[in-house]
C-alpha cells in the first residue's frame, strides 16, 4: 500500500471548504517537493478566478487534486450541488508523480469524507464547467 501523507493543514482546509457548499470556488492540493505528502496549493473563491479561466491556466506538467462544489440543475429543474474531487493528471507530468496520484485515490476516498464523485482529467476539456455539470447530472455516487 502507498504510504502517502495528507498534511493536517490540507485536511483542515478541505473541511473548511466542504462546509462552504453554497459558495463558488475551489481548493487545490498538490504533492510536495519530495512526493511523499499532499499539501494545500491554493484556495480560491469565485471572485478570485472563474472556473474555466482557472482550468485554462492549469500547468500541463504538474498533477493536482482539485475540490469543487459543482452546481447544476437536475431534470426536474431543481438546483443541486455535488462535491467533486478532480484529479488533474496531464500526460506531460512526471511519470512518478502520475503513478503516485493514481495510486492515492483510494486513500482520498477514505480521508476526505463527503466527496460525491471523483473526476479524472488529463486534458483540459475533461474538466470545463459544462462537462462537470453533465457528470454531476447523469452520474451516481462513485
pLDDT at 23: 74
- Grid coordinates of 123: 486534458
pLDDT at 49: 65
Answer yes or no: is pLDDT of 62 > 50.
yes
97-106 burial code (b ≥16 CB/10 A, e <16): bbebbeebee
User: What mean pLDDT comes out for the span 41-47?
Assistant: 75
pLDDT band at 27 (very low <50, low <70, confident <90, very high): very high
Q: Which residue carries 482557472 as its cell?
A: 54
pLDDT at 2: 61
Mean of all residue pLDDT scores within the chain: 86
Question: Nearest to residue 139, comparing CAs of 114, 110, 118?
Answer: 118
pTM of the predicted model, to two decimals? 0.88
Amino acid at each position: 500500500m502507498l504510504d502517502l501523507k495528507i498534511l493536517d493543514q490540507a485536511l483542515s482546509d478541505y473541511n473548511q471548504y466542504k462546509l462552504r457548499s453554497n459558495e463558488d470556488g475551489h481548493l487545490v492540493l498538490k504533492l510536495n517537493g519530495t512526493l511523499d505528502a499532499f499539501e494545500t496549493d491554493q484556495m480560491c473563491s469565485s471572485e478570485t478566478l472563474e472556473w474555466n479561466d482557472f482550468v485554462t491556466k492549469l500547468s500541463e506538467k504538474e498533477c493536482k487534486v482539485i475540490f469543487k462544489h459543482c452546481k447544476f440543475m437536475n431534470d426536474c429543474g431543481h438546483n443541486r450541488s455535488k462535491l467533486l474531487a478532480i484529479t488533474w493528471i496531464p500526460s506531460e507530468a512526471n511519470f512518478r508523480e502520475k503513478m503516485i496520484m493514481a495510486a492515492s485515490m483510494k486513500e482520498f476516498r477514505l480521508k476526505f469524507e463527503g466527496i460525491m464523485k471523483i473526476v479524472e482529467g488529463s486534458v483540459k476539456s475533461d474538466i470545463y464547467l459544462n462537462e462537470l455539470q453533465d457528470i454531476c447530472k447523469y452520474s451516481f455516487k462513485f
